[in-house]
Structure 1
Amino acid sequence: MGNKKCLFFVLALILILLTGCNAKKEEKMKIGLLPISDALPFYVAAEKGYFKAEGVNVELIRFESAVERDSAIGAGEIDGAVGDILAVAALYNSGAPAKIVSISLGETGKEGRFAILSSPGSGIARPEQLKNVPVAISTNSIIEYMTDNLLLGQGLQQGEIIKEAIPKIPVRFNLLLEDKIKAACLPDPMAAMAESKGARLVIDDTATNLSQTVIYFRTGYIDSNSQSITKCLKAYARAAREINENPSAYVDLLVEKAGVPREALTVFTMDHYPVPQMPTKEQVDKVVEWMFEKNLIKKQFSYGELTRSDLIPAK
């Protein structure tokens, strides 16, 4: 009888351990990040143990390109990501729907700035001087979206906006400074670095706030893990507040994890990170309309299709 009891307890213990392991595996949340400053609060939350404190098991996975990141989320290899509204609409269009649960940067135009700059020797100082002048961009991207909207907003016609495809930001940056191209659209901190090295700022979006970086998750994952996402955003908010209160404490992490060149920090002020909140309907609709006009998506997806506003944690 004693041996039977012992065997029973051993089997029960094994069952408990296996159940615990399976639960832990199911709870893991995989988030894809590019080496950009927008991702810093996620790295701070992980390093400080804020995700763990909220009871959510988050794994941060680095990708070197947006294509790799969104291929992974489309295949279900990751659950969420930091990217832009264009990425979310493109995923929805491809049959792998995802929803925005918060902005990451872009509460104001000073966060996540994009700028069109002219080369040191071009003599171009005003937007109207870019009429029929090639502007280096990456096509079908937030960079092209920003270029179109910044220049259309200054009175140029669509046919007067000429774009030259140079996808890689470092290449675009170097060609601009070498006067091998006359103009380029760049995001900070590379835009700030280019200006400090002699490029001329023609126009940026600080006054118009055209761009938002967003946090988004697969729709299927949201449906079964909504509480975990809210816990994740709560930990993220805690990290964002800490960065805003003492940004100098996170410079090394910004360089190591977010891929910001240390040299850039001499001319680039670290972004203010807003607490979780939704992009406006106008901001989302504007991107969707642009994508539809360029035949990048098959229909104009609604704000409700691309967002999930009820996961924001209470302040």
Structure 2
Amino acid sequence: MKKSLQKLTAILTVLFAMLSFTGCGKQSAALRGNNSQEKQIITIGVMPDTDSIPLIIAEQRGYFKDEGVNVKLEHFKSARDRDSALQSGKLDGVITDILALIFAREGGFDLKITSSSVGDYKMVVGKNSGITSADKLKGKSVALSLNTLIEYSTDKILQASNLKIEDVKKMSIPEIPVRLEMLQNGKVDAATLPEPLATVAIKNGASLINSTSKLGINPGIIAFSQKSIDTKGNEIAAVYRAYNRAIEYIQNNKPSDYMDVVIKAAGFPEGVKDDLVLPEYKKAEMPSEKEIKDVIEWMKDKKLIKNDYKISELIYDKFINSDGK
């Protein structure tokens, strides 16, 4: 009888230990699941322009990793492809512009401005175009991407040159490298290009008409979907901490210290290394209300949008003004 009780006790002890181990295993798995949720991947769409340089540096120098966030930069050659990827849910955020954001909102996609970005967009004319000044653009072809920051910049440059929009022939060429190629091959008279491709064009003989930096225009932004803001707020806040560290690095180092890495990552042409003039990068801040209102007014004048928008509906400033929580 005594031996039977001892045997039963031993069996119960083993069973209890197995149940306890299983419970601990489930608890550990749950904790691992929570930890994985806390470090979700942030996917950001970028274009081959100078706006993207701070994010590329943050990636290359390990600032994202230091801030505890896993960031994947997706590179696009056209705004159309970038925006399609965003609205299909493949991206959390994008380096984009106010126009693209308004179009997204018009289509029912909840996208928010989380900060401005820094870039420069230039109208240049081909070396054999015969155009020596802005007034010579009348009747000439200008390559651009329609209903984007590029067209907005083009119209502002024309306006600053006392020209009407109807004075030029707009040619829609969404892919930026193709736009540059057509300019250099003489298939278009002029083109509006972002940096660094504008620098490439000028180096190869094109002439500058005007630029957004000279006009004080900067409608470029960084934006994230409301869904990602709601579910990945901590990660996006970490992205901005890394972004600001990259800005500090740019401010304290010469372009030659990092341009090789940037050229390779962004797919910039090799020839821009010594000629590219970078914009004045600043830590993350919101675009001015005037900038946003000017874009909305331009879109309404062109009958591109039907709805009215309040500034408060379009922005989310907590990532640059707090910890993002």
The answer to whether TM tops 0.5 is yes
1:110-144 Cα distance to aligned partner (Å, 9 max, x none): xx222222222222122122123222222122211
What is the correspondence of 1:4-43 to structure 2 with a 5 Å cutoff? 4-25=16-37, 27-28=39-40, 29-43=42-56
> Contact (CA 8 Å) 2:219, 2:292: kept in 1 or not?
no
1:235-260 Cα distance to aligned partner (Å, 9 max, x none): 11001211221232222221121121
1:303 aligns with 2:311: yes
- Decide whether aligned partners of structure 1 residues 224 and 171 sit closer, same or farther in structure 2, where only a CA change above 3 A counts: closer
In 2, Cα distance between the equivalents of 1:51 and 1:132? Answer: 49
**Structure 1 runs, 4 residues or longer, greater than 6 Å off:** none
CA positional deviation for 1:314: 5.9
Deviates more, 1:139-148 or 1:38-47: 38-47
Structure 2 match to 1:234: 241
Structure 1 match to 2:283: 275
| RMSD of equivalent CA atoms | 2.3
Match of 1:99 among 98, 112, 115: 112
Structure 2 match to 1:109: none
Structure 1 match to 2:165: 158
In 1, Cα distance between the equivalents of 2:131 and 2:81? Answer: 36
What is the correspondence of 1:86-125 to structure 2 with a 5 Å cutoff? 86-105=99-118, 112-125=119-132
1:18-42 Cα distance to aligned partner (Å, 9 max, x none): 4323541454122222343322222
Match of 2:87 among 74, 77, 98: 74
SS in 2 for 1:88: helix
> Contact (CA 8 Å) 1:51, 1:235: kept in 2 or not?
yes
Deviates more, 1:217-226 or 1:233-242: 217-226
> Contact (CA 8 Å) 1:37, 1:258: kept in 2 or not?
no
Percent identical: 35
TM-score normalised over the length of structure 2:
0.86
What is the correspondence of 1:140-155 to structure 2 with a 5 Å cutoff? 140-155=147-162
Match of 1:312 among 312, 316, 320: 320
> Contact (CA 8 Å) 2:120, 2:279: kept in 1 or not?
no
1:245 aligns with 2:258: no
- Decide whether aligned partners of structure 1 residues 86 and 235 sit closer, same or farther in structure 2, where only a CA change above 3 A counts: same
SS in 2 for 1:207: helix
SS in 1 for 2:276: coil
- Decide whether aligned partners of structure 1 residues 205 and 31 sit closer, same or farther in structure 2, where only a CA change above 3 A counts: closer
Structure 1 match to 2:217: 210
Deviates more, 1:254-263 or 1:286-295: 286-295
Structure 1 match to 2:78: 65
Structure 2 match to 1:258: 266
In 2, Cα distance between the equivalents of 1:310 and 1:207? Answer: 30
In 2, Cα distance between the equivalents of 1:270 and 1:93? Answer: 33
1:99-120 Cα distance to aligned partner (Å, 9 max, x none): 1111121xxxxxx222222222
Match of 2:227 among 216, 220, 223: 220
Structure 2 match to 1:195: 202
- Decide whether aligned partners of structure 1 residues 152 and 254 sit closer, same or farther in structure 2, where only a CA change above 3 A counts: same
Structure 2 match to 1:108: none
> Contact (CA 8 Å) 2:120, 2:211: kept in 1 or not?
yes
Query: Between Structure 1 and Structure 2, whose CA radius of gyration is higher?
Result: 2
> Contact (CA 8 Å) 1:285, 1:302: kept in 2 or not?
no
> Contact (CA 8 Å) 2:101, 2:112: kept in 1 or not?
yes
1:288-310 Cα distance to aligned partner (Å, 9 max, x none): 22222223322232222211123
TM-score normalised over the length of structure 1:
0.88
Gaps of 5+ in 2: 1-12
Structure 1 match to 2:294: 286
- Decide whether aligned partners of structure 1 residues 212 and 254 sit closer, same or farther in structure 2, where only a CA change above 3 A counts: farther
In 1, Cα distance between the equivalents of 2:24 and 2:16? Answer: 12
CA positional deviation for 1:313: 4.6
1:120-175 Cα distance to aligned partner (Å, 9 max, x none): 22221221221232222221222111111110122112332331223332333233
